Structure 1
Amino acid sequence: MKSIAIMGASGHCKVLADMALLNGYDDIVFIDKNPEIDMLAEYPVADEDTDLDYYIEHHYDFIVGIGDGKIRRKVQEMLEERGADIVSLIHPSAVVAYDVKIGEGTAVMAGAVINPSTVIGKGCIINTSASVDHDNVIGDYVHVSVGAHTAGTVTVGDNSWLGIGTIVSNNIDICADTFICAGGVVVKNLTKPGKYAGVPVRFVPI
């Protein structure tokens, strides 16, 4: 039997459960802090406060199903400290070049493409139909949203989020803690953390 525990109980977690099934897992459980939830779709939801140690001690594989990168980092680092076996999940329809390096806890969704000589960090989400071209360096806990595309030789810093449909031109560096709004087009390096929007993107003061 192949077993996996998915941290969280949300729509994103349901997508991860489907990917787990397609990767041969036949024992799937969600773990969440909300004691009022005991089922999500057809899968049981265990209580994090009382049940987490059981799944770690019984050597379940773990992945974090939380969309917010900072929370995802916090939960994954907690699991690492407790000795959990953290895995990545890659949808069978994704196209991942032979030499791509993918960190623990990363999810590569249906229809995504990751081209050669790219490095993907820990705890990332490469979402449905996103593409990451050759020689990219994607930092830890980055979310490349549905239909977002990065051209060749792009660097994206830790904890950043490329919104739905984002386009990043080639040879671009995006600093850590950057949020690109849906449909944004990045044609210059972004060196200041924060929120950007538009075509091309401009910094959005809070």
Structure 2
Amino acid sequence: MKNKLLIIGASGHGKVVADIALKMEKWENIAFLDDNESIKSSMGLEVIGTSNDVFTYLEEYEIFVGIGNNTTRQKIHEMLETVDASIPVLIHPDAVVGSQVDIGIGTAVMAGVIINCGTKIGKSCIINTGSTIDHDNYIEDYVHISPGVNLAGTVKVGQLSWLGIGSVISNNVNITSGCLVGAGSVVVKDITEPGVYVGVPVRRV
């Protein structure tokens, strides 16, 4: 493990990522890259360049993508994998992670999250503040689980889907890739087509 961490993205989500990294106390130095050149520091940490500069830091730093947009995060994460970047997993010390849980590289697990046993979470996911993921779930790559989302047991969420704040997913439900589930929505049966879903229970809009 390298003792330096470089976070791509110094605004909203990137700041939360940096806060987790600071609380983990694993890295001697943490810095940002951001394409807004007017940002010189964030969270008291220096912005040392733009995303195009990442290649000059690969030997020295572990690299983490701190960008909330799923598609943008995927694009940068996949580029980092092609150049053999060292990509960590960030888990807030106040998260609860059960036994036999597998979390992919580039995923951030925020404060107050509970992930129960037998769950698999893919690469570069966001498991946001206070969300709960029960037993035997499968969260595919580049998914965003928003704050306060509750997933019951044996739920599958497909790649690049985004579950809005406070949404609820019933047990044994599959959500296909590329779905957006609106804030406060309730999903009680499988979603088989990509799209935007809202309501209690959800309907496609």
TM-score (norm: length of structure 2) = 0.95
Change (3 A) 1:167 1:161: same
Runs of at least 5 residues in structure 2 that lack an aligned partner in the other structure: none
C-alpha contact 2:8 2:51 (8 A) present in aligned 1 = no
Match of 1:152 in 2: 153
Task: Output aligned runs, 1:9-158, within 5 Å.
Answer: 9-24=10-25, 25-48=27-50, 51-58=53-60, 60-158=61-159
Q: CA deviation at 1:50?
A: 5.5
Count of residues in correspondence between the two structures: 203
Change (3 A) 1:11 1:186: same
C-alpha contact 1:8 1:31 (8 A) present in aligned 2 = yes
Code of the residue aligned with 2:55 in structure 1: it is D
RMSD between aligned residues: 1.2
Code of the residue aligned with 2:186 in structure 1: it is V
Q: CA deviation at 1:39?
A: 1.4
Q: CA deviation at 1:47?
A: 2.0
Runs of at least 5 residues in structure 1 that lack an aligned partner in the other structure: none
Give secondary structure in 1 for the equivalent of 2:204: strand
Match of 1:187 in 2: 188
Change (3 A) 1:50 1:200: closer
CA distance in 1, matches of 2:51, 2:176: 35
TM-score (norm: length of structure 1) = 0.95
C-alpha contact 1:179 1:194 (8 A) present in aligned 2 = yes
Code of the residue aligned with 1:28 in structure 2: it is I
Percent identity, aligned pairs only, is 52
C-alpha contact 1:101 1:118 (8 A) present in aligned 2 = yes
Match of 1:7 in 2: 8
Give secondary structure in 2 for the equivalent of 1:6: strand
CA distance in 2, matches of 1:49, 1:108: 23
